Every structure is written in C-alpha cells, then in structure tokens.
Chain A
C-alpha cells in the first residue's frame, strides 16, 4: 500500500493540518508504507520554500511530488481535483489523504467522484487500512466505516485528532526524494470555468485557532463586538487564540473564520475557556476533544457546564477583568 497526501501550504510552509494528514496516513498504513506528499502551486520562491519544508515536515514522507502550473496558484477545486486524478493515475496509490480543512472538504469529494469512489470525510481515528471512525450527528454518535471499493481509499482527517508531531521515532527515516510531476496537461471541462477573485481575512498576531494551546472564545453573552476586546486582553496575556460561538458570529460581533463548532472550526487545545457561551450541541461538537474546558457563564443552568471541567457561574463582565489581572502572563 501507498499514500498520496495533499500538502496545503502558505507563506512557504506546509500547513499543520497537512502534516497531521501525513501522520494519519502513517497510522493507517503502517510506518513502512511509502507516503508521497503532493506540493503544488504556480511556482516562485514561496513554492520552493514549501517544497523544502515538505521534505523535512514528517519522517513518514518518502517522496515529495511537485506540480507546477499557473492553474494551481489558487485554491480552486476544478484544477486541483484534476491534478489528484492525474497523480493517482500515474502513481496508483492505494490511499489519498488530506486534512478536513475548507480546501480539503472542497477538493477531495470532487476528486473522489472523478475517480468513481466514495470518500470518507472528517475521520478522527484509523482502525486499519480500510476502516475508519468518523463523528456523525454533530459528534453525538461515532460511525465506524469500511471502504470496500477497488479504487483508491480517499480519506480526509480532522487535524486535531492526529498530532502533527510524531510521538515515536519512525524507522527508516530518510531524506525524501523530490520528484517533478508534469502538470502541463491539466485539462477537463470544468477548468477555466471558475475564477478566483480574492480573499478577505482578518490579520491577527494571535496563534491560529487550530494550533493554539489555549483557546478563549466568546458567545452571545459578550453582547457586542467591542466587548470582545475584553476577551482579547485575556488572550494576549495567555498567548491564546480567540474563537467564538455561532451565535456571536451570527450576531455580527466577529467574522466567520472565528467560529468554533460543527460547521466552523474544530479545536482541541490544552485549555479551552468558554465565556458567555450557552453550549449548543453544535458548539460542543467543536470543542469536545479539548483537554481542559472552563466555562464562565452567569446562567447556572447553561448546558456548557455539563461538559466543563471547571464551571464558574459569574457575570463575565466581572470575571474577565479579574482574570486579566490575576492570570500568569505566558507571553515573553
């Protein structure tokens, strides 16, 4: 068996989620199976830096496959799915893995359909090469799913369930070969029918939600966008990332990319602090795997207290300033 793993990259490095996908591939297939990391883009210094990073990103990687094409400069599903189909036809991999990021969710099922197989998305555990566990019903049930098709087994993984840093030193760690893939003939009916216009994002110096050791998030209880500054003060002192419940995003307090939950981001930090969040099922789906959950809410009956390790029934507008004053600063 062998795996092809899609490397998402930005700013010259492979994203942690993709390294988690390598870890998941190694876990499912065993350490001795070859893992090919596919790095693609339109070219340039950033792509070169990402290729370098890919070659040392995880000891399980045996080959870095590089595809250069102006069509691959943007995260559009049509050319990327076609690239996967072509790479699969050439490499005949038994598996294709990717992170269950917004990009992975967009591209992988399309490529699976083109290859005529069912993908298994949002996997949280591998049982064997063809058997995987994934949450259903917003994490209120877990389904064990087996792939019994003959084509490649296509899997997207939830990055928080597969640590990007390998726990054990793998045998046969080598320097992966870097191989060029000819992407000059990417063509299908759909390529060119989609055009990337732009991305508007909030620039922040705080750690990424998916990777942060501490996450503090706010809900409707914060009452306004301005009040999120209270959370940010605490986050800055702790070096934490800031998230939000769907209610806070819907109310317009913060942008959508801060949403944590079933349809937002899934987090699993060492410490999760929920402030003014009631704890709807769909929010809990995004935080369940956090190591320690703290909930601060003045409503003693809020469902969040049923999953919190430590609950503080207190007005957040009193609790937050006191916390800011008393928490140890983690920042240098």
Chain B
C-alpha cells in the first residue's frame, strides 16, 4: 500500500482517492457522489487519519474502498451498529456511514431507526436508486408500486417507504436531500451534514443506469428540473421554477401545502428547525409538487456518545484509576489465616 504524506499543502479532492480501481458500472450515479464526497472532504479539510467510512452491503457499500481514509466494509444493513461502536470507543473519529435503500431501509431498517433516534454523531449518506443493484435488479423498499423486476415480473404491489420521512419519524435532528448529478448542491449538503453535531441523514437520489435507468427523470431531467425541484434554504421563501415564479404556502385552515404564484401572499419561509414543515416538505411528490431538496430539517441536540462519556465521567471514569483490588473486596469479605 502506498502511503502519501501531505504535509505542506492543503488536501485536494484527489488526495481522498485510494489506490484502488473504482468498479461501478460505467455511468453509475455513484461516481458523481464519490466525487462530491471527495470535494466535500477537501473543502472541510478532513484529516484522513481521523476519518472513517463505514458501509454495509450493496453497490454503494463499495464506497470505502475508494476513499483514502480509514474504511470498514461491514455486512448487510449493519453499518450503523459498527459506526456506533467506533464512536463509543473513540468519539474523536469523524465517521461517515454509506448505505443504500435496501441496506438502510430493508435489512438494516432497525439500525437506521436507532442510530438516528440515539443521535450518534456521524453522517449517514443513503444512496437511493430504488432498486437492488448488486443482486441484479430486484425491487427495493423505495421502489414505486408497479416496479417490474426479476422478483416482481408483474409489477410490485408494495407501497414504497419515504427515506426522509422514516428519518424524521425516527427522530433524526438533521435531514437533507440531494441528487447525484447536482454536484454543487450535493457538496453543499454534505458539508452541512458534516458540520452538524449528531446524526446527519442525507438521502441522495442516485441513478442506476443498468437496472433502473431514468427512474428520477420526472424531477431530475435537465429541461424540467427547475419546475420539478424545490431547493430549500433556511430563512428564504419556498420559491421554485425557472424564473422562481412559483411558491408554496399553507392551504388556509389545513395542514397542507399548495403551489401558488410567487406573488401570492403568505409564501412560506423555510425554517429548518420546524419539524412539522420538514414533514410536509418531505411528502411533496411530482407531478403535483416539486421535490424538496437541501437541508429540510436541522435542529441540533446533544450527541449520544458525548452524553454516554459525560455520564461515565460523572461516574468516575478517567478521574482516578479505580482500584481493582478495591472492587474485588467490595461487600462482605472474611480472612482465613
């Protein structure tokens, strides 16, 4: 293994590339996400020795092999558990979890729920391509009804799960969304996720060119994207459209959003600390509504491992090396001469 030591200059995106050949399908959205992550790491100035990428199983899970930091490619769905152990053992490490829709929302659904609920300080990036790629194209928990796949030749009859709504329901304090091909937007979202203390959940819509090509075209295709995407920003009005001519507001007397001309009164202003608004935004679907992208929710709370360590310190951890002999002699003892 070659060791590249960079001491006298700032790290560039390419410095975060490992020496391993990237083996995703040509045209896979994962390439773009890899580039965005490497750019974000360079922008952040992430020290490689203190950064750890943890993944489960699936196409996305190959990610750690291509990053020049520490990396742990674990087993299907369980990356959050190993990431939790890492953070408990060494809270100083900067941990990223890379996962997919099958990995995080099917086999690993339980762990996703709990890592978010506990608020472990890590970034969890979910590559959502609405399909099982590595196992050759079965429908996934985010696949839409009617998805035809080798295991659903007549079309899936299951309702898909919304990744961001699951995250909000689990109590995530940071929920964001972006698109693989929107490089600048994705880098910005990743950097916000990194800056957030606690569990940061990022869903990236990622195109699988082989098994589900174009599944997000209804809001990512270049010509319609401005009309079909709502990039949100804290403190800014919820406007979209090529000439930002449309906006969102509450239907009077109802907890529902409606699309109105940008000139209409009562256009909502994005408040990323407002969980109820985030829930409404994550539920918006084309064609009636644009897809909300960006930091949908961010309301920091103490991180799990920080609280665990604080409690342990209060209980005597690290103050004075406790005496094992004292522990063994606690309670009733007697001496035989």
A and B associate in one complex: no
A residues sitting closer than 8 Å to B (CB atoms) are none
B residues sitting closer than 8 Å to A (CB atoms) are none
